[in-house]
């Protein structure tokens, strides 16, 4: 295993070549690190700003060995990386953070909610099913209407459907592909919030101010941060983050999506074991953003400050919206972040803009 903390000049591995990997590589470069990207797609956004790129499947043995030859520490930019790939890198002497347990828990929505409840973190009521008959029973236990989701994979609203009546559950189960599902009770929430937090190798924890998030068709459109929340809600969000981070023996940045109820209480919707879209505001709203914070944590460096220095409205740019780059670039209080993706497909995240506001 490498000697920590890593000194500048070391190489970090990133599994995943999308926009999060790109922004991690840019943050690593500011701190003097090189990065090597492993991604199945040639010409990935992250590969074009990294020192090295490996084009192969995540479970390719030769590719993992090549990454291990370059990198002392590795991380991942999305949670559908095979756990076996992380285990293989660790066997090759590469320290991977966050660790395989966080990845495995986050990959299964039922395991995730079971872990959260076991850590003393509240969620909506839920039940699992792996057959049409089981789906009907699960909806009967949770109550209709209910949200049915595939237990694994699925993102940005994909892999989930509402079940309006228990009698519809079997058909919805089949429409989702007949894979194991989780059935969740609806949350009567007032708004959606999120908290970005980090845990270092020494166990130190740093928590960013909350963001208020607005979605459309299951995709995040904008975040407002710092969110206007009560001191009690902020303290509860911090407690939630601490319980998750310590319960997973976590190293790195995590994103936790929250439902704020009418009485001010918070429920956890889900967490992502990585840097998170709702934390992009920190790039221009905090002295140390989530990407640098993640690099600091996995490299064994001290965590940086998380106080907000500016208010931010973060807007995701989807598809052809990124073609308005000149307009955003002309706004004096806007900071444009484009991901270098070649094709502006409808609904595809092409970039974001942070509009600065007073605190």
| Interval 41-69: pLDDT, tens | 999 999 999 999 999 999 999 999 999 99
- Identify whether the C-beta of residue 295 lies closer than 8 Å to the C-beta of residue 24: yes
Q: Strand 311-318 vs strand 349-357: parallel, antiparallel, or unpaired? A: antiparallel
Domain annotation for the chain: domains and CATH numbers:
11-96 (3.40.50.20), 125-184 (3.30.1490.20), 189-357 (3.30.470.20)
Q: Which element (helix H / strand E) includes 118?
A: helix 109-118
Q: Check residue 148 and give its pLDDT.
A: 96
Q: Residue 155: pLDDT above 90?
A: no
Sign of CA dihedral 130, 135, 139, 145: positive
Please report which confidence band the pLDDT of residue 84 belongs to, taking 50, 70 and 90 as the band edges: very high
**Torsion angle in degrees (nearest 10) through CA of 111, 117, 120, 122:** 120
Q: Check residue 157 and give its pLDDT.
A: 61
Q: Residue 265: pLDDT above 70?
A: yes
Q: Residue 317: pLDDT above 90?
A: yes
Q: Check residue 159 and give its pLDDT.
A: 85
Please report which confidence band the pLDDT of residue 218 belongs to, taking 50, 70 and 90 as the band edges: confident
Please report which confidence band the pLDDT of residue 2 belongs to, taking 50, 70 and 90 as the band edges: confident
């Amino acid at each position: 295993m490498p000697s920590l903390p890593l000194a500048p000049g070391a190489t970090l591995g990133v599994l995943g070549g999308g926009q999060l990997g790109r922004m991690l590589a840019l943050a690593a470069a500011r701190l003097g690190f090189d990065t090597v990207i492993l991604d199945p797609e040639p010409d990935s956004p992250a590969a074009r700003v990294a020192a090295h790129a490996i084009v192969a499947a995540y479970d390719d043995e030769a590719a993992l060995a090549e990454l291990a030859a370059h990198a002392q520490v590795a991380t991942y930019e999305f949670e559908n990386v095979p756990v076996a790939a992380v285990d293989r890198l660790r066997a090759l002497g590469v320290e991977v953070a966050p660790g395989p347990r966080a990845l495995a828990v986050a990959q299964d929505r039922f395991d995730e909610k079971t872990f959260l409840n076991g850590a003393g973190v509240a969620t909506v009521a839920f039940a699992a099913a792996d057959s049409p008959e089981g789906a009907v029973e699960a909806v009967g236990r949770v109550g209709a209407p209910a949200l049915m989701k595939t237990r694994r994979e699925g993102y940005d609203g994909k892999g989930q459907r509402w079940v309006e009546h228990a009698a519809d559950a079997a058909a919805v189960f089949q429409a989702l592909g007949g894979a194991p599902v989780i059935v969740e009770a609806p949350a009567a929430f007032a708004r959606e919030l999120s908290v970005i937090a980090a845990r270092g190798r020494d166990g130190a924890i740093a928590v960013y101010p909350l963001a208020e998030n607005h979605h459309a068709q299951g995709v995040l459109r904008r975040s407002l941060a710092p969110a206007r929340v009560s001191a009690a809600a902020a303290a509860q969000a911090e407690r939630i983050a601490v319980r998750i981070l310590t319960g997973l023996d976590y190293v790195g940045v995590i994103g936790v999506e929250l439902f704020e109820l009418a009485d001010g209480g918070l429920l956890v919707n889900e967490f992502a074991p990585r840097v998170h879209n709702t934390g992009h505001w920190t790039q221009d709203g905090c002295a140390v953003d989530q990407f640098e914070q993640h690099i600091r944590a996995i490299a064994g460096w001290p965590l940086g400050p998380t106080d907000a220095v500016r208010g931010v409205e973060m807007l995701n740019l989807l598809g052809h919206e990124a073609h308005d780059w000149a307009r955003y670039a002309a706004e004096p209080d806007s900071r444009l972040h484009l991901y270098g993706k070649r094709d502006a497909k409808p609904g595809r995240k092409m970039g974001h803009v942070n509009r600065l506001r007073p605190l």
